[in-house]
Chains A and B, each alone.
Chain A
């Protein structure tokens, strides 16, 4: 559906047309699912999160500004819902505490390291690294590199300043590098141990 068609449907949904909201559900449920899946890590909770996100969106619809694009708004509701979920399950106690990582630590691994490590065969470990990334960083990373949103939209969506988006993304990537590097080290250590056993 193009922008114009979506806008018409959103207008109808705003006017209280249930069928129009159902159409929005059909249009976006996959996008919402993908974000939830990435945020929460497993399929089942993601399914719940999709339903819940749409219910939330439906309730919050009155507050939606029809001049704004609908999708980022919806995605940010889903993202926030996922963060709530994670917090509730206290899987992520650090979400809203400041990152313990020092600037100096972040600088220690150059971006080229990631690219080098990821020379194709390590992509799986990057996937795992994204999964263990604190949600505080994961959401902006998803919005940027999965949803292709610009900093401004991300800032609005997660309620921070544009500059902070830059910082969050920068740190997210630094953490990923560190995680992938440590996985690669573990892997090679494991190999070494294995060889010694032989």
Chain B
């Protein structure tokens, strides 16, 4: 023991910095001294522990957002960031206000919120009306609330039902189709509003798109563009060359619509011809004998009467579905009761969902070309939370996880700063949520404004893609934060792509499971998207300020 070397020699030896002479000295001693061999091992462990702890700190420091903008520039960054933001906001408000007041074509004055007082009143009336008379349509009151995006939300909600019936891919196809098959809303809008009645007379032709709102609206003439109607009673006997968005207590269509008809109301009756698709939600929805829809029909309501002819598929969810007419391809229904009358002709398959093994009433003489099968849609709809029992759900989740993971990894390689926003304190969280809420609401409004102005359409299209991308990325960003904190609290440490990948995967799993939990899943989903969008916005702002901040070094 008294021969043992000073510990400092060992310390240097473990660090691999000993001189050749010292190495010889140490090693020849170690051969005969078990205690010193223990010391050497302990010193090696100690060095690893110290480096670990230091690097752990490093990892935390990495996540500190101020790293990206050094202190001196932080106050500057705030000044630089806040100033222009306020300036741009003020400029936008001024320019938009000025445009609304003076520059927009006369017809677009309906965009001016000040002119909507009557419309607001009507929307509220309608919402309360729907709530009282057609509680099944409560979803659509949400659509009504978002007056500007009425068309897109309605289409989305209705097509979401059809997605359930037809499968996942149909949604994208439907959305894309309804976006691109619709004659563009590019034409300038003409707007007519009144508290009383309004009409487009038989001999009148409106050469642009028309927004019309009144107590009773009658369209007997021709509208060359799209028609957006909001009224207590809507009677369309004329011709519309574009799409029709009709929301009212009573909607009667006996004219001709070249585009698609999107409609919601208490009673909707269609006696005329729709050359494209019909999306409808109503307490009572009737396609009259003479009514003809050239393409697909997607309906939701209390009772649906299909007496006319449908060119292609019929998708319908309602308490009672009565079919008398012709369906060119397949029919899918989910309802409390289904009645097929004697003169029914369905060229393709019939898939029906009825509660508790109830059978459809199929009268003699009804013709069904393909197979008749009982689906489980109603069960799916009545238990929407139980996704976990569905095999497809796991497949979808796996596809989502894999793709989100890959996108996350690519992003980490290309733009790691997206993942650097902090969520360590509650104020970070609230800040992200605030930004997210603003982003979620403002971006669509900005996009709609882009679409309404002719020149803005390309920007709008790019914006839509960007928006959808941000929504998807938001989940990934939140997952990375969740994963990192789980990894940190589990004591898992590491750097580089491998460690990032591991924590991203863990985070994605947790977030995806949380978003699909029964009951709370919906709220969590909203939270995740909101926080994630906020974090992306903050990262973008930071990156922008950072670019400005870098200037001082140069």
Q: How far is the CB of B305 from chain A (nearest CB, A)?
A: 68
Whether a CB of chain A sits under 8 angstroms from the CB of B437 is: no
B46 touches A54 (CB 8 A): no
Alpha-carbon separation in the docked complex, A44 to B64 (Å): 11
Q: How far is the CB of A132 from chain B (nearest CB, A)?
A: 14
Whether a CB of chain A sits under 8 angstroms from the CB of B61 is: yes
Whether a CB of chain B sits under 8 angstroms from the CB of A160 is: no
Whether a CB of chain B sits under 8 angstroms from the CB of A69 is: no
Contact with A along B1-37 (1 / 0, CB 8 A): 0000001100110010100000000000000000000
A173 touches B553 (CB 8 A): no
A151 touches B15 (CB 8 A): yes
Contact with B along A38-61 (1 / 0, CB 8 A): 100001100110110010001000
With a CB–CB cut-off of 8 A, which chain B residues contact A118? 46, 49
Interface residues of B in 55-94 (CB under 8 A from A): 55-58, 61-62, 64, 66-67, 70-74
Interface size on B, residues (CB 8 A): 39
B57 touches A51 (CB 8 A): no
Q: How far is the CB of B74 from chain A (nearest CB, A)?
A: 7
Among A58, A111, A130, A173, residue most surrounded by chain B Cβ atoms (within 10 Å): A111
With a CB–CB cut-off of 8 A, which chain A residues contact B56? 123, 127
Q: How far is the CB of B21 from chain A (nearest CB, A)?
A: 13
A120 touches B70 (CB 8 A): no
B8 touches A166 (CB 8 A): yes
CB-CB nearest in chain A for B18: A166
With a CB–CB cut-off of 8 A, which chain B residues contact A162? 17
With a CB–CB cut-off of 8 A, which chain A residues contact B71? 44, 47-48, 50-51
Whether a CB of chain A sits under 8 angstroms from the CB of B38 is: yes
Interface residues of A in 11-28 (CB under 8 A from B): 18-19, 21-22, 24-26
Alpha-carbon separation in the docked complex, A141 to B62 (Å): 20
* Contact A33:B51 (CB < 8 A) given known A48-B72, A170-B11: no
Whether a CB of chain B sits under 8 angstroms from the CB of A83 is: no
* Contact A33:B550 (CB < 8 A) given known A141-B50, A173-B46: no
Q: How far is the CB of A96 from chain B (nearest CB, A)?
A: 21
CB-CB nearest in chain A for B64: A43
A107 touches B54 (CB 8 A): no
Contact with B along A157-172 (1 / 0, CB 8 A): 0000010011101100
Alpha-carbon separation in the docked complex, A69 to B72 (Å): 27
B42 touches A111 (CB 8 A): yes
A146 touches B54 (CB 8 A): yes
CB-CB nearest in chain B for A115: B45
Alpha-carbon separation in the docked complex, A72 to B423 (Å): 33
Whether a CB of chain B sits under 8 angstroms from the CB of A95 is: no
Q: How far is the CB of B136 from chain A (nearest CB, A)?
A: 55
B49 touches A126 (CB 8 A): yes
A169 touches B42 (CB 8 A): no
Whether a CB of chain A sits under 8 angstroms from the CB of B39 is: yes
Whether a CB of chain A sits under 8 angstroms from the CB of B496 is: no
Whether a CB of chain A sits under 8 angstroms from the CB of B358 is: no
Q: How far is the CB of B35 from chain A (nearest CB, A)?
A: 9
B70 touches A173 (CB 8 A): no
Whether a CB of chain B sits under 8 angstroms from the CB of A29 is: yes
With a CB–CB cut-off of 8 A, which chain A residues contact B67? 29-30, 33
Alpha-carbon separation in the docked complex, A126 to B45 (Å): 14
A173 touches B50 (CB 8 A): yes
Q: How far is the CB of A78 from chain B (nearest CB, A)?
A: 12
B11 touches A22 (CB 8 A): no
With a CB–CB cut-off of 8 A, which chain A residues contact B50? 126, 130, 141, 145, 173, 176
Alpha-carbon separation in the docked complex, A198 to B46 (Å): 37
CB-CB nearest in chain B for A54: B553
Contact with B along A109-127 (1 / 0, CB 8 A): 0111011001010010011
Contacting residue for A18 out of B45, B72, B554, CB 8 A: B554
Alpha-carbon separation in the docked complex, A33 to B61 (Å): 8
Q: How far is the CB of A148 from chain B (nearest CB, A)?
A: 8
Interface residues of A in 160-198 (CB under 8 A from B): 162, 165-167, 169-170, 173, 176
30 A–B pairs (Cβ distance < 8 Å), ordered by A: A18-B553, A18-B554, A21-B553, A25-B550, A25-B553, A30-B67, A38-B54, A47-B66, A47-B71, A47-B72, A51-B73, A51-B552, A54-B70, A107-B7, A110-B39, A112-B38, A112-B39, A115-B42, A115-B49, A118-B46, A120-B491, A123-B56, A127-B53, A130-B53, A130-B54, A142-B54, A146-B58, A151-B12, A166-B11, A166-B12
Contacts A21-B553, A112-B39 aside, 5 further interface pairs with beta carbons under 8 A come to A22-B550, A22-B551, A48-B71, A54-B70, A110-B39
Q: Which positions in B face A, CB cutoff 8 Å? A: 7-8, 11-12, 15, 17, 38-39, 42-43, 45-47, 49-58, 61-62, 64, 66-67, 70-74, 491, 550-554
Q: Which positions in A face B, CB cutoff 8 Å? A: 18-19, 21-22, 24-26, 29-30, 33-34, 37-38, 43-44, 47-48, 50-51, 54, 58, 106-107, 110-112, 114-115, 118, 120, 123, 126-127, 130, 141-142, 144-146, 150-151, 162, 165-167, 169-170, 173, 176
The 9 closest A-B pairs by CB, nearest first: A47-B71, A22-B554, A112-B42, A18-B554, A25-B553, A51-B72, A166-B12, A146-B54, A111-B42
